[in-house]
Structure 1
Amino acid sequence: MSDCTKTVNCPICNRSFENTEIEEHVNKCLFLNSCEKSNSKRQGQQLLSPNEKRKKVEKLTALPPNLKSSQSQKISTNENIKIPLSESLRPKSLDQIVGQKQSFGTDSMLRSMLEQNKIPNMILWGPPGCGKTSLANVISNICKKQNNLKFVKLSATTSGINDVKEIVKIAKNDAQFKNQTILFMDEIHRFNKLQQDTFLPHVENGTITLIGATTENPSFSLNNALLSRCRVVVMDKLTTEDVMVILKKAVEYNEAKLINTKETVNKSDEPDQTIPRYLIEEASLQWLAEMCDGDARVALSALELALNARDPGSDVHLNGPAVLTHDDIKDGIKRSHVVYDKHGEEHYNTISAIQKCIRAGDDNAALYWTARAMHGGEDPLYIARRFVRMACEDIGLADQSALVEAVACFQGCHQIGMPECDVLLAQCAVRLARAPKSREVYNALKRCQQSLKETKGPLPPVPLHLRNAPTKLMKQIGYGSGYNLLSKEESGLTYLPAGVEGDYFQKEYEGD
């Protein structure tokens, strides 16, 4: 019999297969463990004892060399998968959550419900790295301790509507046995509002309990009907102290030690097992906590990168621990921008702050928010356009040259672009903030618009004497009849349509 048709016994189920088929079958036996479960149901065959299972696994050495090498390579590959530091340090209980005291503090309602194993429909809204997925991990652990709770995690970046429908189908079957399915949908804002409708009937009838996580404002990115069925939990950006607590846990997890200055460990004075693998300057760790902008994932990733770069390996007891300095930590994080979404809520929040500071005459604050918008990558032409608007809306007739300078700033930004136009925007922000303010024209415009909205029936026509009369027929009808070039006080004419003659839109009312 040739090698290609030679049969080999499976080391797991002891069945015979050809040499070309045995590898695929062994993979199924090892990772799915399906053969043992199916064989136990066969007539006259019993489950293998642990010793027998071990002996059969050891028969892998009797496989052909090509199968043995490929199988061992797959097993070693799985064992060598390295879990990121941010994933390894995820909290497993509510007490291990850092920050978010307002939402999940000791006396909060949500914490009380979770401690009672009552999980409501909720949308977790917060910036990246604030703990949304970590909270989901805690809820997952709560579900594992309960026989009637099942936790399923999906991400809108990799899953679609068909995946959700499949989860719902299984959840309906589980509900018949009084089992509740908790569905965690990460990045739920990636589903459009039509796709979000898929959740509505199943959340409504209790088939699933939905927990969504999003970095976008739910008011804009999520369906209103879905929001009415879920509680929105606002998770704040982590403070520097919160990030420092997390980093210290990472230091302990990696067998490191915090020091105030560069120092080494005397191997003769201390036993080998007390020598840390790393020495990290506490000031450097504090700097990292301040620079990560409240994103714990960024801080942990930067620390992990620095640790891997200075890993002493197995020589820590011979050469001493590795010392991580400020430069090592700094290389792990390159902060070129702050958290800023040019098309999201932060975009509108920042430009609103600029206008309100200019309106209040705080030139220092106006300069700060303008610089922060530019630092976050905001389009300079957008800022300049807003300055043109502010020059009319907030300054107006009190300083008419402000509009000229704002338009000049816009044209200058359009011609030279960034980074040269940054000083143009800064100067215009300070100039507008220091200018005298008058909202007379803006308020008059709003009153005029309100009058047009409240007009009942058709709008009044233009008076005949104000109409243009380019043709003979129009003149005969009376277009332009009686018009003169005199001023309003001398002409004896009215310049507003019938029914609006007595309205004075530029009248200043209290509170305008």
Structure 2
Amino acid sequence: MESGKLSDSIEFISCPVCNKEFRKAIIEEHVNKCLFLNTPERNVNCKRNSLHLKEISSHEKKIKLDTISSHNSPKTNKVSQSSKENPKQEITKEKGAPLAECMRPMKLDDIVGQAEAFGHGSMLHAMLEQKKIPNMILWGPPGCGKTSIANVVANICKEQNHMRFVKLSATMSGINDVKEIVKVAKNEIQFKRQTVLFMDEIHRFNKLQQDTFLPHVESGTITLIGATTENPSFSLNNALLSRCRVVVMQKLSVDDVMLILRRALIRNEVLITGPQESKKPKNDFIPRFIVQEESLRWLSEICDGDARIALGALELTLAARDSGKEIHIGGPTVLALEDIKNGIKRSHMLYDRQGEEHYNMISAIHKSIRASDDNAALYWTTRALHGGEDPMYIARRLIRAACEDIGLADHTALADAVACLQGCQHIGKPECDVLLVQCAVRLARAPKSTEVYAAMKRCQRNLVEAKGPLPPVPLHLRNATTKLMKEIGYGKGYNLLHKNESGLEYMPEGMEHVNFFQDDAPD
């Protein structure tokens, strides 16, 4: 009975332009027509007839408009009020929606984790509390809450007369969709309404396509919120980054994921047993499931900070054990640790072979070898292979480490690294994993000398910072291959004796006293 009232109450939504009520199914089509008819630039004498309006409505390209404003009808206000009173009703409002989607926060205080970026006392928290939304790029791993932040911003926009929220994804939308959004946003400015555009997976647009946002962000036509899992320094346009604040979001901690799982279970009236045993709901509802505390702890630890994976695994486990009856015979079903383990396997380790994580992992291997930490070198090499890194790339980096950090302190290290590369080429993966790990540990345990590497860097700086033309090669060091060259003096006086006995100078003129192997050598 209660669900029937809910469906009736959300059947009609008021238009933000004319304040008339329309059915939810046709509200988007009406808003497009209403905006077109209220545009001052429209030419009354235009030869186009009303068929042009139908053409516009059929060419919407799946643009989602935020049509809910503060001028909602009393029916709509009843829905929002009832959702606050009954949290379970808020979750089931989108029938068939995944649990992760239903658990998205509606208010700023509901955000879990990301205390440094959006917690109390942060600048962004203060701005959002004042209903001020800046241009920003949300950068973080999957499942850390980027889309949840956008959901909070969307609700802030719904509470304001002068704000409108539009959500797009670069995986499903193109530049033409962005242009349509901008076109509508320019019309909205005439009604003093600001458009907030959330572009998910913004790194999917190439840097030329990203230029489309620049003039409209700079002029204030739209407020851009982008979400990306890749390092913006590599994947986004520098001009766009200069106009947006980059918000770095971290993986959720185990406690953060535990809190999210607890909220999901409590709102679905599932009991949790353990050291912090939950109480029964106030309405004496008999729970269908009882989840053990250790099960939630294990799930929070195995999901690698991704709340979406944790909620998805929990939802899958609940659905698998649900018989469809209102109350199980013999009492609620207890979900043990083994039940949840069957719903998730650790095969989702975060690793991007072409993104920032790729370079971070290789850097960790190299620096562990440099510090002679054989245990860390073994761990990072194994983890890179487990994440799908190319073995040949790791082998090439080990050769570099053998030259750069070990150098002449152990002249066999380079030979071993080259042999490792050849071995990987011969046997391939996955059998080559032991070769790479063994070579990494061998290099970590080897004595270190950066003498040659440091001398090379000093020499390179000398060449870069040299003023005027570089000094020529001395005549006695030049190769005399023709009679003319010998007559000019090429190779004259050259001998095979040691430099201390030959009487010759092998450095260029003016650099006779420069020694790059000394720390005080001039750069």
By the TM > 0.5 criterion, same fold?
yes
Please say if 1:176 is aligned against 2:187. Answer: no
Amino acid in the other structure paired with 2:210: Q
**Where do 1:234-313 residues align within 5 Å?**
234-260=248-274, 274-313=285-324
Mapped partners of 2:348, 2:125: distance in 1: 35
Q: Does 1:409 align with 2:420?
A: yes
Pair 1:495–1:80, CA change in 2 (3 A): closer
Equivalent residue in structure 2 for 1:332, among 330, 343, 363: 343
Residues 261-308 of structure 1 deviation map (CA, whole Å, 9 limit, x = unaligned):
9xxxxxxxx999633112222212211110110000111111111111
* Secondary structure at 1:251 match in 2: helix
Q: Distance in 2 between matches of 1:34 and 1:331?
A: 43
1:115 corresponds to: 129
1:312 is displaced (CA, Å) by: 2.0
Structure 1 counterpart of 2:144, from 117, 130, 133: 130
CA distance in 2, matches of 1:222, 1:86: 28
CA-to-partner distance for each residue in 1:450-476, whole Å, 9 max, x for gaps?
Answer: 111122333333222222233344333
Going from structure 1 to structure 2, the CA distance change for 1:491 and 1:348 (only over 3 Å counts) comes to same
- The answer (yes or no) to whether the contact 2:207–2:236 under 8 Å persists in 1 is yes
After superposition, the C-alpha distances for 1:75-109 in whole angstroms (9 at most, x for unaligned) are xxxx9961001001111001111001111111111
Q: 1:459-470 maps to which residues of 2 (within 5 A)?
A: 459-470=470-481
2:94 maps to 1:83: no
Contact 1:312/1:322 (<8 A) preserved? no
User: Which of 490-499 and 84-93 deviates more?
Assistant: 490-499
- SS of 1:274's partner is coil
Does 2:172 align with 1:161?
no
The Cα RMSD (Å) is 2.7
Hey, what's the Cα distance between the residues in 1 that align with 2:98 and 2:442?
A: 49
Mean Cα deviation higher: 311-320 or 410-419: 311-320
Alpha carbons 2:94, 2:102 under 8 Å: kept: no
Find out whether 1:474 has 2:485 as its counterpart.
Answer: yes
2:223 maps to 209
Q: How far is the alpha carbon of 1:326 from its aligned partner?
A: 2.2
The answer to whether the 8 Å contact 1:244/1:286 transfers is yes
> In 2, Cα distance between the equivalents of 1:95 and 1:162?
36
**What is the correspondence of 1:9-48 to structure 2 with a 5 Å cutoff?**
31-32=25-26
1:354 Cα deviation (Å)? Answer: 1.6
Pair 297,34 (structure 1): closer, same or farther in 2 beyond 3 Å: closer
Consecutive unaligned residues of structure 2, counting only runs of 5 or more, are 1-21, 34-92, 276-280
Amino acid at match of 1:313: G
* Larger Rg belongs to: 1
User: 2:433 corresponds to which letter in structure 1?
Assistant: D
Deviations 1:177-196 (A, max 9, x none): 21111111111111111111
Task: Give aligned pairs, total.
Answer: 436
| Cα-to-partner distance string for 1:432-486 (whole Å, 9 max, x where unaligned) | 2222211110011011111111223333332222222333443333332222111
Aligned counterpart for 2:513 among listed residues 467, 488, 502:
502
2:172 pairs with 1:146: no
SS at 1:258's partner residue? Answer: strand
Q: 1:36 to 1:230 in 2, by over 3 A?
A: closer
Aligned-residue sequence identity (percent) comes to 69
Change beyond 3 A, Cα 1:272–1:309:
farther
Structure 2 Cα separation of the partners of residues 35 and 103 of structure 1: 38
Q: TM-score, normalised by structure 2?
A: 0.78
Q: What TM-score results when the alignment is normalised by the length of structure 1? A: 0.80
| Aligned-partner residue type, residue 455 of structure 1 | A
Between the aligned partners of 1:272 and 1:151, the Cα distance in structure 2 is 37
Instruction: Give, in whole Å, the separation in 2 of the partners of 1:408 and 1:402.
Output: 10
Q: Deviations over 1:335-355 (max 9, x none)?
A: 125201111111111111222
Q: 1:447 aligns with which of 431, 443, 458?
A: 458
**Structure 2 residue corresponding to 1:424, chosen from 427, 435, 444:** 435
CA shift in 2, pair 1:34/1:394, >3 Å:
closer
